[in-house]
Amino acid sequence: MSRFIAPWTLRSYGILGINRRNSRYIARYNPRRLFPLVDNKLKTKLTVHPAGIPTPAPIGTVAEQSQVAGLSNLLEGHAGFAIKPSKGSGGKGIIVVTGRDGDEFIKASGARLTISDLRRDVSNILAGLYSLGGKPDVAIIEELIHADPRFDRFTVEGVPDIRVIVCRGFPVMAMMRLATHASDGKANLHQGAVGVGLDMATGRALNAVQFGQTVTQHPDTGQRLDELEVPDWDALLLMAARCYEVTGLGYLGTDIVIDRDKGPQLLELNARPGLAIQVANGAGLLPRLRRIDDLSDAELSAPAEERVRLSQSWFGSVEQTVQS
C-alpha cells in the first residue's frame, strides 16, 4: 500500500492544493496589476507607510554596482542591520548582522563576515541572483529587528515572524516561524525554521513542524512549543487585516515581526502565500476559505476590527470546540 495520501483524501481533510490556490484564490482575488506592489519589498514599504503600518526602518538602498564600494559609509554608525534583496523570497540573499567587532561584522550565530563578504552579497543581489526570474534588483539595508525577550527560548539566533493568511480582509489562518541554528537568523521554513500553527482566537500554539515533521520542542533549546503564545494577538491580526484595504489584494500572506521596543512591524506581503501553513496548523484552509467565499456584501464591507472579531469567532479553536 502507498504511504502517500491520495489528493481526494487530502481534499476531504480540507487541504488546499496548489492548483486550486492558484486558480480559485490567487487568480480570482488578486488583480495581476497589484503584484508588483508586493513582489518588491521597497514598494511594499512605501505603500503601507502612509496607512500607518510600520515596517523596519530603512538605512539605505544600493541600486548600482558603482555604489557597492561605498557600502561601508552607508553602514557607518549601525551596529546591527539586515541586507536583503528587494525582490527576494524564502530568505535567500539575506544577511542579518547583529553586531561588530573592529572591522568585522558578526551574525547572530557568532559567524564573522568582512566588508568584502557584505559587498559580494550586495553585488549578487544587484545582479539578480535572488530575485524572481533573475531580474536585476536593488539591495535594501534596514535596521535590525530585536526579538521580543518573551520569545527568548522559542527562537534561536533570529527574529521569529508571524504569517497570517488574509482572504478578502478576513484573517483565516496563522503560524509563527521560529528561527533555528539551521535557519541562520532567518525564520524561513525552507531554511529550517520551525512552523507553529496558532489558534486564531488566542494566538496560542496548536501544533508545530520542522522540515514537514511534527516537533514538540525547539530543536536547539528544548523549549516546549505548546507553551508559545503570541502577545498582543488582536492588534497583530488587525494589522494583518488592514493590509487588505491598503493593497487591494484579496488573498494575501502577511509577515509580521514583533520588535522588542517598537512592537509589531510588517516585514513583507506575499500574493502567492505557501501552503505549508496547513501542515503547521494540522488543518486545511479550504473550509475556512469557503466560508469567506460565501460572505454577504454587508459582511464583506465590515471594518477591519469587526472582520478580525468575526474571524476569531469562526476560526478560533475555542469556538470550534464549543460547536462540536
Ligand X SMILES: Nc1ncnc2c1ncn2[C@@H]1O[C@H](COP(=O)(O)OP(=O)(O)O)[C@@H](O)[C@H]1O
Distances (CA, A) of 195 to 129, 158, 159, 180, 189: 27, 14, 13, 11, 7
Q: Which is nearer to Mg ion, 184 or 255 (CB)?
A: 255
- Report which of 90, 255, 287, 102 is spatially closest to residue 176, judged by C-alpha positions: 255
Amino acid making up residue 83: I
Asked if residue 56 binds ligand X (CB under 6 A), the reply is yes
Nearest approach in angstroms of CB 255 to Mg ion is 5
Q: Which three cell numbers stand for residue 129?
A: 541572483
Say whether residue 145 binds ligand X (CB under 6 A).
Answer: yes
Is residue 188 within the footprint of ligand X (CB under 6 A)?
A: yes
Task: Closer to ligand X by CB, 55 or 312: give it.
Answer: 55
Site string for Mg ion, 224-263 (x = CB under 5 A): -------------------------------x--------
CB-wise, 40 or 312, nearer to ligand X? Answer: 40
In the complex with ligand X, the residue whose CB is nearer, 275 or 295, is 275
Kindly tell me which residue out of 38, 97, 176, 187 binds ligand X, with binding defined by CB under 6 A: 187
**179, interface contact from ligand X, Mg ion, none, CB < 5-8 Å by kind:** ligand X
Q: Please say which residue, 96 or 292, places its beta carbon nearer to ligand X.
A: 96
Q: Indicate which single residue of 30, 40, 89, 131 sits in contact with ligand X (rule: CB under 6 A).
A: 89
Q: Closest CB to Mg ion among 148 and 255?
A: 255
For residue 258, state whether it binds ligand X (rule: CB under 6 A). Answer: no
Answer for the pair 255, 162: CB distance below 8 angstroms, yes or no.
yes
Q: C-beta of 161: minimal distance to ligand X in Å?
A: 4
Using CA atoms, how far residue 255 sits from 93, 104, 237, 261, in Å, is: 18, 30, 11, 18
Whole-number Å distance between alpha carbons of 188 and 166: 19
Question: CA 193 to CA 210: how far, in whole Å?
Answer: 6
224 Cβ contact partners less than 8 Å away, ≥ 6 residues apart: 216, 217
**Nearest distance, CB of residue 117 and ligand X, angstroms:** 17
Closer to Mg ion by Cβ: residue 206 or 269: 269
d(CA 45, CA 47): 6
Determine if 228 is a binding residue for ligand X (CB under 6 A).
Answer: no
Q: Least separation, in Å, of the C-beta of 45 and ligand X?
A: 11
Region of 164-172, 182-190, 218-226, 304-312 interacting with ligand X (CB under 6 A): 182-190
Cα 133–Cα 190–Cα 197 angle in degrees, nearest 5: 120
Report what 203 binds from Mg ion, ligand X, none; CB cut-off 5-8 Å by kind: none
Residue 82 in contact with ligand X, rule: CB under 6 A: yes
Is 302 within 8 Å of 313 (Cβ atoms)? no
Beta bridge partners of 88: none
CB of 151 to ligand X, least distance (A): 11
Strand stretches in the chain, DSSP E: 58-62, 81-85, 95-101, 104-107, 112-113, 139-143, 161-167, 170-178, 194-198, 205-210, 213-214, 251-259, 263-270
Q: Which residues bind ligand X (CB under 6 A)?
A: 56, 82, 84, 88-92, 94, 96, 142, 144-145, 158-159, 161, 179, 186-188, 255, 267-268
Q: Which residues bind Mg ion (CB under 5 A)?
A: 255
